[in-house]
């Protein structure tokens, strides 16, 4: 039996701009993504077996523990790729809010691929891990790589850019509002007017000059769904300089805010920081 504990960080989108819609139904984007110090943890255990079985468990009833979970799909894809069978058990400790625009499911799937590769003595190189990640979703490659990333295409084409190391962070999420990427992108596609502010390029130029990036924070998907949800409007009213991450419903502000006047319908996560890594090992055990 081999066991590994994997640390899977969340991400935020400092910018998220829609370039166009693709023939495959996805959208091409330009986004600067940043990994942050909010983590899910995976305990992955493998044993040799003549037939594959994948068993999931965790600390929340808000996600499925079956073939619909991206962790399950990642496990199956990995075994098929290396042509192995095994008994896999994975315990998912969820701390990243769900359906929140923070890549919680994506980082767990990327962590699964990375962790299984370690447990099977690294049969796949890093470029191969990225290929598997790209098959499963748009944010997995960013989570695997970590740090500060420029993501293009549908999000799977990534380029590491200079790390922004001085930023503190506060997250604000409506507890009872989750927004799917499908909903957000569909509403954007239905918008007659689609702004083109080129905030990603402006932020990249500011980063090269070591200038303040706060005026370039922007999200096209916030524009797409903002008018439909009073909860989002409430956040923006209280904290005007906050920005939505991903497809929402989480907002972030680049500051440690000590007192935020929201009621219990909102989850506040304080004292977070930008981090310069992605998936990594917490502990490795061989028996």
Domain ranges of the chain: 1-287
Look-up of token digits 């000059």 = 209
Question: Which of 2, 11, 30, 173 does the annotation list as catalytic?
Answer: 11
d(CA 247, CA 282): 29
Is 139 a residue of the active site? yes
pLDDT at 8: 98
Cα-to-chain-centroid distance, residue 274? 14
Question: Which of 40, 43, 139, 220 does the annotation list as catalytic?
Answer: 139
Architecture of domain 1-287: 2-Layer Sandwich (3.30)
* Phi, psi dihedrals of residue 168, rounded to the nearest 5°: -100, 165
pLDDT at 286: 63
pLDDT at 103: 97
Structure tokens that stand for 69 in this block: 């979970």
Count of Cβ atoms closer than 10 Å to residue 75 Cβ: 27
pLDDT at 78: 98
d(CA 166, CA 193): 36
Reference 28, options 135, 140, 154; nearest CA is 154
d(CA 156, CA 234): 32
pLDDT at 219: 98
pLDDT at 125: 98
- Please report, in tens digits, the pLDDT of each residue of the chain (287 residues total): 899 999 999 999 999 999 998 888 889 999 999 999 999 999 999 999 999 999 999 999 999 999 999 999 999 999 999 999 999 999 999 999 999 999 999 999 999 999 999 999 999 999 999 999 999 998 999 999 999 999 999 999 999 998 887 678 999 999 999 899 999 999 999 999 999 999 999 999 999 998 999 999 999 999 999 999 999 999 999 999 999 999 999 999 998 877 778 889 999 999 999 999 999 987 776 65
Contacts of 107 (CB under 8 A, 6+ apart): 8, 9, 10, 11, 40, 96, 139, 140, 143, 278, 279
Q: For residue 280, list its beta bridge partners.
A: 7
Structure tokens that stand for 170 in this block: 């506060």
Is 108 a residue of the active site? no
pLDDT at 287: 55
């Amino acid at each position: 039996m081999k066991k590994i504990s994997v640390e899977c960080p969340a991400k935020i989108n400092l910018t998220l701009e829609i370039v166009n819609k693709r023939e495959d139904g996805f959208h091409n984007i330009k986004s600067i993504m940043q990994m942050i110090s909010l983590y899910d943890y995976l305990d992955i255990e493998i044993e040799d077996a003549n037939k594959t079985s994948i068993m999931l468990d965790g600390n929340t009833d808000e996600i499925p523990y079956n073939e619909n979970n991206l962790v399950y799909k990642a496990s199956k894809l990995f075994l098929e790729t290396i042509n192995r069978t095994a008994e896999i058990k994975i315990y998912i400790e969820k701390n990243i809010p769900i359906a929140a625009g923070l890549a919680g499911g994506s980082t767990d799937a990327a962590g699964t691929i990375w962790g299984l590769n370690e447990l099977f003595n690294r049969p796949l190189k890093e470029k191969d891990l990225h290929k598997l990640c790209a098959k499963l979703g748009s944010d997995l490659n960013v989570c695997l790589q970590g740090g500060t990333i420029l993501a293009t295409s549908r999000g799977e084409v990534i380029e590491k850019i200079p790390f922004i190391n001085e930023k503190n962070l506060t997250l604000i999420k409506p507890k009872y509002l989750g927004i799917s990427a499908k909903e957000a992108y569909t509403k954007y596609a239905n918008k007659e007017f689609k702004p083109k502010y080129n905030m990603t390029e402006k932020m990249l130029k500011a980063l090269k000059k070591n200038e303040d990036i706060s005026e370039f924070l922007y999200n096209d998907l916030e524009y797409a769904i903002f008018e439909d949800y009073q909860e989002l409007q409430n956040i923006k009213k209280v904290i005007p300089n906050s920005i939505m991450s991903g497809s929402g419903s989480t907002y972030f502000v680049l500051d440690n805010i000590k007192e935020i006047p929201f009621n219990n319908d909102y989850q506040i996560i304080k004292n977070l920081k930008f981090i310069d890594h992605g998936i990594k090992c917490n502990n490795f055990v061989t028996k």
